């Protein structure tokens, strides 16, 4: 991360004091920070304390003759590799959504051509308000990365989502966004599955699960960013295809397996999809009706094909690196280690889905290989994907014919 720089916008909120710790932690990792301190932010931290930690002049005013002479706001907005807003208040996010430019922070956000990371912190009611949620959705649609806040007690005495994420999580996200893409997987074909499958009971109902597809789509995007040719076989989700990725849409587990086999050969196979374990032996051709008197229709189930195991045990066209996901609600690492042996894959990404992981924006995983267990902290799914893609690239690096599949 040497010679990497961020432009840090400190918004006005009680969590602003944590920005000082963020500056210090980034400095320890060789990441410099130039800072814009909003007028509201000066109510919580001083320009002197920020300057002392960053070693840089702190910018506060849009219409400053001295600042505009030394570094105009346009140049300031493009002087770093990444723009980070921390804490990102509801007001700052609203200004960014609507293109306001009435102070230095909002003008800089409008003028920048660099990636933007928003790290929200606010009262739980403000976070959950419809206006804030609409603004967050629009920011993400515009390409801004918005972290999910932590859940816990707040300075105002309330409890819920809205706390600034812990500094290590913020640092991990910043490092992931600053990490250079060297196209180390150029010439490799990666096959990824994502989302749920749907097994029809009748023309109206089906068996499925809560998978949003976000992690699988994010992994596909990260592999494409590393230069791989990526085929993404996806169950029904509402996500757009990542840029540069070939998307194959399916509904059922059997359709997903066929699409995967049709896409072979591949160098990498990552089974992220939450595939339904069972399907009805026969789907009704008409909508099933209630029989009344507490009677339920009898539905005979059949086991679906095991896609991960099938691909892992291919005698021909087996990918060099096969990675499975283990979604568990208890005894995570034990079940995942057993799955690694049972399925015959090379790596298992174990994640606890008893909370908000399915459908959520963050994940905490343990990467299990023959070399042991590599535990990662909770981080945005994009950061998980970038780190996994980096691990995969390292496994292939320097050896066109073989692999080093150690976790480190």
Give 127-140 as a DSSP string.
HHSHHHHHHHHHHH
Q: Is 277 annotated as a binding residue?
A: yes
Q: Is 161 annotated as a binding residue?
A: no
Element (H, E) at 84: strand 82-88
Q: Is 113 annotated as a binding residue?
A: no
Beta carbons of 33 and 5 less than 8 angstroms apart: yes
Q: Is 339 annotated as a binding residue?
A: yes
Query: What distance in Å separates the CA atoms of residue 159 and residue 398, rounded to the nearest whole number?
Result: 50
Q: Is 150 annotated as a binding residue?
A: no
Token duo for residue 177 = 């966004």
Q: Is 196 annotated as a binding residue?
A: no
Beta carbons of 368 and 350 less than 8 angstroms apart: yes
**How far does CA 105 lie from the centroid of its chain?**
26
Q: Is 63 annotated as a binding residue?
A: no
Beta carbons of 216 and 239 less than 8 angstroms apart: no
Question: Catalytic site residue 156?
Answer: yes
Among 86, 156, 260, 345, which one carries the catalytic annotation?
156
- Residue 8 per-residue DSSP state: E
Show the CA angle centred on residue 382, arms to residues 231 and 123, nearest 5°: 145
Query: What distance in Å separates the CA atoms of residue 164 and residue 13, rounded to the nearest whole number?
Result: 10
Token duo for residue 220 = 């596909």
Q: Is 282 annotated as a binding residue?
A: no
Q: Is 325 annotated as a binding residue?
A: yes
Residues placed in the known binding site for CTP: 277, 287, 305-308, 325, 339, 343
Residues placed in the known binding site: 277, 287, 305-308, 325, 339, 343
Q: Which residues are catalytic?
A: 156
């Amino acid at each position: 991360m040497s010679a990497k720089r961020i432009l840090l916008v400190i918004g006005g909120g009680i969590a602003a004091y944590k920005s000082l710790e963020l500056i210090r932690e980034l400095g320890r990792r060789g990441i410099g920070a130039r800072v814009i301190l909003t007028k509201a932010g000066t109510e919580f931290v001083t320009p002197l304390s920020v300057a002392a930690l960053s070693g840089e002049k702190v910018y506060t005013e849009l219409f400053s003759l001295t600042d505009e002479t030394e570094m105009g706001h346009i140049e300031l907005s493009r002087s770093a590799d990444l723009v980070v807003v921390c804490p990102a208040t509801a007001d700052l996010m609203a200004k960014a959504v609507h293109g306001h430019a009435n102070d230095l922070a909002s003008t800089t956000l409008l003028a920048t051509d660099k990636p933007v990371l928003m790290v929200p912190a606010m009262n739980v009611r403000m976070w959950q308000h419809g206006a804030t949620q609409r603004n967050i959705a629009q920011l993400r649609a515009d390409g801004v990365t918005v972290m999910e806040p932590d859940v816990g007690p707040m300075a105002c005495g309330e409890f819920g989502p809205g706390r600034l994420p812990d500094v290590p999580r913020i640092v991990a996200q910043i490092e992931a966004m600053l990490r250079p893409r060297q196209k180390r997987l150029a010439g490799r074909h990666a096959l990824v599955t994502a989302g749920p499958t749907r097994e029809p009971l009748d023309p109206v109902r089906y068996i499925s699960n809560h998978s949003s597809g976000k992690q699988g789509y994010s992994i596909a995007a990260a592999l494409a960013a590393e230069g791989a040719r990526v085929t993404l076989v996806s169950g029904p989700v509402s996500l757009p295809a990542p840029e540069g990725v070939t998307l194959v849409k399916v509904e059922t587990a059997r359709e997903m397996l066929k699409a995967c086999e049709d896409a072979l050969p591949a160098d990498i196979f990552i089974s992220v999809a939450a595939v339904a374990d069972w399907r009805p032996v026969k789907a009704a051709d008409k909508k099933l009706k209630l029989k009344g008197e507490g009677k339920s229709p009898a539905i005979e189930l059949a086991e679906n094909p095991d896609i991960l195991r099938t691909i892992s045990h291919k005698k021909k066209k087996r990918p060099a690196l096969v990675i499975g996901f283990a979604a568990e609600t208890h005894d995570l690492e034990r079940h995942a280690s057993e799955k690694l042996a049972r399925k015959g894959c090379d790596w298992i990404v174990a994640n606890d889905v008893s909370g908000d992981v399915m459908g959520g924006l963050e994940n905490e995983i343990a990467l299990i290989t023959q070399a042991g267990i590599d535990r990662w902290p909770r981080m945005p799914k994009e950061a998980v994907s970038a780190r996994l893609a980096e691990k995969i690239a390292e496994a292939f690096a320097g050896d066109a014919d073989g692999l080093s599949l150690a976790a480190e």
